[in-house]
Amino acid sequence: MSLKCGIVGLPNVGKSTLFNCLSNSKAQAANFPFCTIEPNVGVINVPDERINALAEIDKPEKIIPATVEIVDIAGLVKGASKGEGLGNKFLGNIRECDAIIQVLRCFDNDNIVHVDGSVDPLRDKEVIDLELQLKDLETIENRYAKTEKSAKSGGDKKAKDLLEVLDAYRAVLLQGKNARTVTFDNKEKQALSKELCLLTSKPVIYVCNTDEASCVSGNAYTEKVKVMAQEENADVLVIAAKTEEDIAGLETYEEKQMFLQELGLQESGVNRLIRAAYHILNLQTFFTTGPKETHAWTFYKGSKAPQCAGVIHSDFEKGFIRAEVIKYDDYIRYRSEASCREAGKISVEGKDYAVQDGDIMHFRFNV
């Protein structure tokens, strides 16, 4: 399963710096608008100590962690929905992402210009929201006339459902709210809403980019962002992107831990951000492990055993027979599959089993 998160924000708020420390890539980060034109893409490992603990037991030839694809998208400006700046190119790049990491500048520095002349993270957030909302309204208007005609001309239930979905979204967007504030109980309408791929329906994490002095306790800017995000029921992370880049540049794990301790941090902001992305997309991890490889696999919370088998290979899902499941804590305690079997800690599950986070799975199938 591929997860793609897009980093967005106004120019010069620290997007590319954050991307660099996430991916260990060297995207261009400069003190002028649109130094990022083509989106930079990096694939990063999801931090999870459980895979290391399993590998320590099985001593596999390969260790394969779960991954996240991070996209550094060019800075947005006012008028992007009408083609200003990089306009439609920027908006098209967001449409391809599963979640949005919105970077807000929460530091003062006279040497780094702000595209609007002053630091105000809430104003910056409103600029981005407005441009995405305008593009979503355009998407809805483009679908509306044809859908309305089909809904009123006869018994096209899908068209009637879609018209209700379009009406609901248009109402909130015209109020200056994001599409993600709308929910549908009806499964058919839920499916239709996803087909629209509205930009403001995507889950969002707000990243407050601060200076090093504010990376632990925050500052007046971050407090304002937290109040706003609480009203939206959204996640907020306080990260000093430049400091994170310095940490990522250190050679050894010990050096990185010493730096974090000096700052008063238990772990890097990068790790917290990746886990937050997992959380907002309702993702969890199951494992397969043995002497050849220890592998972390990503699945949607609530998925049944056949669906998780299909994450490994489509044939596993088509020919699913059963799943043998060991709980992570049991595997760590008994130290091998054989010992878990002797202790009666392997359960045999069928098609209705909802896979749990951390499960160690062995699928039986026949194609």
- The DSSP string of 182-201 is ----SHHHHHHHHHT--GGG
Give the tokens for residue 234.
């959204």
Residues 6+ apart with CB under 8 A from 196: 139, 140, 143, 165, 169
Write down the pLDDT at residue 2.
67
pTM: 0.86
Among residues 129, 11, 37, 126, the alpha carbon closest in space to that of 89 is found at 37
3-class secondary-structure state, position 36: coil
> What is the C-alpha separation between 276 and 90, in angstroms, rounded?
24
3-class secondary-structure state, position 58: helix
> What is the C-alpha separation between 16 and 291, in angstroms, rounded?
39
Write down the pLDDT at residue 110.
87
Write down the pLDDT at residue 68.
85
Write down the pLDDT at residue 39.
65
Residues 6+ apart with CB under 8 A from 212: 240, 242, 243, 263
Q: Which residues of the chain have pLDDT under 50?
A: 25-37, 80, 84-87
Could you tell me where the beta strands, DSSP code E, fall in 232-304? 235-239, 283-289, 293-300
Q: How much helix, strand and coil, in percent to the nearest 5, is found in the chain? A: 45, 20, 35
| Element holding 141 (H helix, E strand) | helix 121-153
> What is the C-alpha separation between 34 and 20, in angstroms, rounded?
16
Per the document, the length of the chain is 367
Distances (CA, A) of 147 to 135, 152, 196: 19, 9, 13
For residue 164, give the DSSP letter. Answer: H
Write down the pLDDT at residue 261.
94
| Element holding 271 (H helix, E strand) | helix 269-280
Write down the pLDDT at residue 72.
84
Strand order in the sheet with 235-239: 40-45, 67-72, 4-8, 99-105, 204-209, 235-239
Write down the pLDDT at residue 296.
97
